[in-house]
Chains A and B, each alone.
Chain A
Amino acid sequence: DIQMTQSPSSLSASVGDRVTITCRASQSISIYLNWYQQKPGKAPNLLIYAASSLQSGVPSRFSGSGSGTDFTLTISSLQPEDFAAYYCQQSYSTPRTFGQGTKVEIK
């Protein structure tokens, strides 16, 4: 199985900050890496697919980069509605594995 390791597991930031979350795969997954946002009590919501493609309707302050084993999700200017948990997921092979999540909290 491909292991996905996210860091940090949590972070505190202020509105307007630039935030970066990283995700590392235990083997190369090309660009088969997706990012989801989850708010309390809600289902996850797709933000970025294929490492860097922005899902329709997602604000442009979200961006993704990387290939192979190392990936990054960046929020260019954190907004109040962005305080949530973020998960990476590989879709290179089954089992589809998720990172352990990053909780973005208000500083």
Chain B
Amino acid sequence: QVQLVQSGAEVMKPGASVKVSCKASGYTFTDCYIHWVRQAPGQGLEWMGRINPNSGGTNYAQKFQGRVTMTRDTSINTAYMELSRLRSDDTVVYYCAREEGSSGYFDFWGQGTLVTVSS
């Protein structure tokens, strides 16, 4: 069965970088885009960007351009999202999600990773 398993919660200092992982199983990793979506406490869903695990090509939301880097390691079926220059408002839950190919919906999601930015 398809699963996306994310790395555990992180506590980071302002200005630092965080790297969240998303390990895929149950399907061919290179067949489906991986997206990253974040959610502040009590707020809505915010799309950050996506990576094509086959080519490594990425698309980022304008808001995060220059601060986010999405990569993948096909040898271990894992996608990564690194966010730099962390601020207090980056204290949110980060989700990875798999995009189904034809209609673009997100059919499987990781469990979420809480990143807390605090001095």
Contacts and interface: CB of A to CB of B under 8 A. Distances in A.
B109 A43 contact: yes
Interface in B32-78: 35, 37, 44-47, 49-50, 59, 61-62
B104 A32 contact: yes
Grouping DSSP codes into helix (H, G, I), strand (E, B) and loop, the A interface class, with mixed when no group exceeds half, is loop
Interface residues of B, number: 24
Interface in A26-73: 32, 34, 36, 38, 43-46, 49-50, 53, 55
B100 interface: yes
Contacts of B46: 98
A7 B97 CA distance: 25
A55 B45 contact: no
Interface in B91-119: 95, 97, 99-100, 103-107, 109-112
A14 B107 CA distance: 29
Interface stretch (A15-23, A76-84, A88-96): A88-96
Interface string A1-25: 1000000000000000000000000
Grouping DSSP codes into helix (H, G, I), strand (E, B) and loop, the B interface class, with mixed when no group exceeds half, is strand
Nearest to B6: A43
B44 A100 contact: yes
B100 to A, nearest CB: 7
A25 to B, nearest CB: 14
Contacts of B97: 43-44
Interface of A: 1, 32, 34, 36, 38, 43-46, 49-50, 53, 55, 87, 89, 91-92, 94-101
